[in-house]
Chain A
Amino acid sequence: MSKTKGKRCKGFSWFLWGKALAFFSNFGASHREKAVELTRFEEKELENLFVLLLMGSFTGIPSPPSFIAAELLPHLEHEIKVLNARAKASSDAMAEIIGLLDID
């Protein structure tokens, strides 16, 4: 009887250990995901800033000599997509930041 009880106890503690492990690993993964999300947001903002600086003459920002933009233009497909996406979301930028920081 006590042997069975002991076995059950052992099984239960393994079960608890497993749950705790899963909890902590999910906890870690969720934090990692959050960190990646924030870093991606920062990266996109920097890409947006980079291309905005280069092509500032479109928006009235003092810009570098236009030939720098002309030379880099062929390699800026991704950044221009980001610039477009940011421009579209610019009316609701606050909501995006609030969502990113999990503020209800």
Chain B
Amino acid sequence: MMFAKQQVETANASWQEFVIEALIRVMGFSTIGFVLLIFLFLLREGLPIFYKVPLSNLFGMQWYPTFDLFGTLPLLLGSALITVTAILIALPLGVATAVFVREVAPDWARELLKPMIEVLAGIPSVVLGFFGMHVVAPLIRETFGAPTGLTVFTGALILAYMALPTIISVAEDALDAVPKSFRDAGLAMGATQWQTIWRVVVPAARSGITTAVMLGMGRAIGETMAVMMVTGNAARIPLSLDSLFKPARTMTATIAAEMGEVAQGSTHYHALFGIAIILFLLTFLINLLAASTIFKKHRRGGLR
């Protein structure tokens, strides 16, 4: 009797475990499902634009939805200009800070810096946008004489700081993955620590640093609120030399600013979803490239 009861109990337990494990598996797979769902729904609402409106219009120079002009070129260029400028600011700052934190800083400085960078990662973008509007934009206006101070440069500056936590933490991991023997070898050759850092350690971490920059770029392209609040949102082609200190408009800001006012199912509505498809594919591509360097885990020689 005892024996039989015990057997029933174990059978029960293993049945429960089977259910739990199946559930956990489903949850693991759900992430793939979510990516597919997101893409599916973007396509569902966004694809119509590609056959409703001729391509020459879609990739034209003018975005005036009220006149049925859906030229995404100014938005694409606006996003590109702001992102590139932001990365040009963030790359040197981020890599230097990562090198400082990982290779040079005394323990107390590291203990102070890392939580501060985490704090930066946690500040909501709308708060940074608000700060940008009220503090940074007036500064830009007075320093560079831009009429409102709401310019590409203002947006890029804020974006650079938003991308920094990503860049710093990924670059730091990359530096961390460089075997200690590399550093020892550099020092043993009579190089100073400074020379070892820039001629041995950083070059060895190059692929990881590239990943860091790409992830930072993905973050910058997708940023919405802060950019919308500080770049002035003029849908013009930013190709002249002084574009940096003129307003521009990004893809993200266009969606955020206009989706609230369009009728569901209208051409304009589909056009905004069409922009979202472009954004999705862009960030997908960037992350795929970044991930391929993560997945390689290719460390050249040396023991960890």
Q: Do A and B come from one complex?
A: no
Binding site for B on A (CB under 8 A): none
